[in-house]
Amino acid sequence: MIGPLDEYPLHQAPLPIGWPASSDRNFYDRSYFNAHDRSGEIFVITGLGYYPNLGTKDAFMLVAREGRQTAVHLSDLCDGDRLHQRVGGYRLDVVEPLERLHIELEETDGIAADLTWTGSFPVLQELPHVLRSGARVTLDAQRFAQVGTWEGHLSVDGERIEVTPDRWVGTRDRSWGIRPVGEAEPAGAPSDPPFEGMWWLYVPMRFEDFAVVVILQEDPDGYRTLNDCHRIHPDGRVEQLGWPQVRIHYAPGGRTPTGATIRCTTPMGEALELEVSSLLAAPLHVGGGYGGDPDWLHGTWKGEKFTERVTYDLTDPAVQGRVMFGCTDHVGRAVLTEGGRTHEGWGLFEHFCIGRHDPSGFTDFLQVAPTGA
């Protein structure tokens, strides 16, 4: 399956570019974006992915506002043309690599978008992310992240929403490798040891003069398996920030955070504190296709030229009951304090705590934050 990219000296294996070096069914190559106007009134999450070993590609756009999440899903056969990323009426164009991208969604079930992304600072190559279940690798991914601004417009059921870079900001990431995608596989023998839980925090924030990206993952006993905390400067300098200490502020009666306090140090040993607050929460597994979404999982074969629109009422008890068992993205506002000075920033506050997590005081999958805490 030779394609246009094979004309370029890009190969990393003795295979056409369109064939992954790994034959693992869970190989994926995906882009994620979010956009918001800092008000906490609207949150747009979108992305496009290729799953060549499953023969599929898909895209989605999720609009969260007024207690509802409306998702448009698109899926089709995977093709070898990676220079032109298309799924139905959804298009992702690389205008200037690592700087500017353009997303267009033709009107699909009442939703349309024409949005241009401009990176505010250079991309950050994150640490490799590897997970195992017994002997098997379940996650082996490389990712880069970036904060930036948006320009263009969004249309929802005939309402045109103007998107201007003075107000609209967001974050994006590109990741590829192996992670669970597509239809469920046969379970096999029970995991040994059994899965007890996982704690995750991802906070990429855009400030006026720099960006900060925090990525942390912990086991149920609090042992940190991923610790990635950096500040990115306009000239490309990447400053490593010392071991973050985190306190998540959970709303009573659940595991949805209202904010977080993150304390770390600069390379000079000076204290740096991030006080992060949530302005709007959007569960990614409610129409977004992530982490056990029962309605839409990335890489699942839906047939050729598939599209659908689904709207979720977040006050519905059936929807509320599944929120704590997946990952939630938040419109995040941050105040960074360093050396007596404060800086205001905006970006993504992503968190989940599933199952047991001793430092948070959760002993099993069903325990929630105490009422009145």
pLDDT tops 70 at residue 280: yes
Which two structure tokens, joined as six digits, stand for 331?
A: 């419109």
| Partners of 336 in the β-ladder | 274, 343
| Partners of 277 in the β-ladder | 259, 333
Gap between the terminal Cα atoms of the chain: 59
| Partners of 357 in the β-ladder | 362
Query: Which amino acid is residue 289, in one-letter code?
Result: G
Q: How many CA atoms lie within 13 A of 206 on its CB side?
A: 29
Mean pLDDT of 81-98: 96
Residues contacting residue 91 through CB under 8 Å, at least 6 positions apart = 84, 85, 102, 103, 104, 105
Global pTM reads 0.96
SS3 266: coil
Question: Which pLDDT belongs to residue 145?
Answer: 97
Question: Which pLDDT belongs to residue 73?
Answer: 98
The domain tally of the chain equals 1
Q: Which residue has the tokens 């659908």?
A: 308
Distance of alpha carbon 81 from alpha carbon 353, whole angstroms: 38
Distance of alpha carbon 261 from alpha carbon 141, whole angstroms: 28
Question: Which pLDDT belongs to residue 25?
Answer: 95
Stated length of the chain: 373
Q: How confident is the model at residue 373 (pLDDT cuts 50, 70, 90)?
A: very low
List, for residues 239-277, the tens digit of each pLDDT value.
999 999 999 999 999 999 999 999 999 999 999 999 999
Query: Average per-residue pLDDT in the chain?
Result: 95
Mean pLDDT of 186-214: 92
Whether residue 368 lies inside any domain: the answer is no
Whether residue 367 lies inside any domain: the answer is no
Whether residue 136 lies inside any domain: the answer is yes
Residue 190 · residue 346 · CB < 8 Å: no
> What is the extent of the structural domain holding 140?
21-180+196-360
Residue 147 · residue 99 · CB < 8 Å: no
Pick from 42-56, 103-117, 188-202, 317-331: least confident: 188-202
Query: Which amino acid is residue 83, in one-letter code?
Result: L
Whether residue 265 lies inside any domain: the answer is yes
Which two structure tokens, joined as six digits, stand for 337?
A: 């304090």
Question: Which pLDDT belongs to residue 3?
Answer: 85
Mean pLDDT of 70-88: 95
Q: What is the DSSP string of 128-190?
A: PEEEEETTEEEEEEEEEEEEEEEEEEEEETTEEEEE-TTT-EEEEEEEEEE---SSPPP--SP
Whether residue 335 lies inside any domain: the answer is yes
Which domain CATH number covers 334? 2.40.370.10
Distance of alpha carbon 173 from alpha carbon 147, whole angstroms: 9
Question: Which pLDDT belongs to residue 291?
Answer: 85
Closest CA to 262 of 303, 230, 309: 230
Whether residue 351 lies inside any domain: the answer is yes
Pick from 103-112, 120-129, 291-300: least confident: 291-300
Q: Which residue has the tokens 């690389």?
A: 94
Question: Which pLDDT belongs to residue 237?
Answer: 95
Question: Which pLDDT belongs to residue 372?
Answer: 54
Whether residue 11 lies inside any domain: the answer is no
Question: Which pLDDT belongs to residue 194?
Answer: 86
Whether residue 2 lies inside any domain: the answer is no
Question: Which pLDDT belongs to residue 66?
Answer: 94
Question: Which pLDDT belongs to residue 278?
Answer: 98
Mean pLDDT of 40-62: 98
Residue 51 · residue 28 · CB < 8 Å: yes
Question: Which pLDDT belongs to residue 135?
Answer: 81
Percent of the chain past pLDDT 70, that is, above it, reads: 99
Query: Which amino acid is residue 229, in one-letter code?
Result: C
pLDDT tops 80 at residue 371: no
The DSSP element (H or E) to which 318 belongs, if any, is helix 317-323
Q: How confident is the model at residue 60 (pLDDT cuts 50, 70, 90)?
A: very high
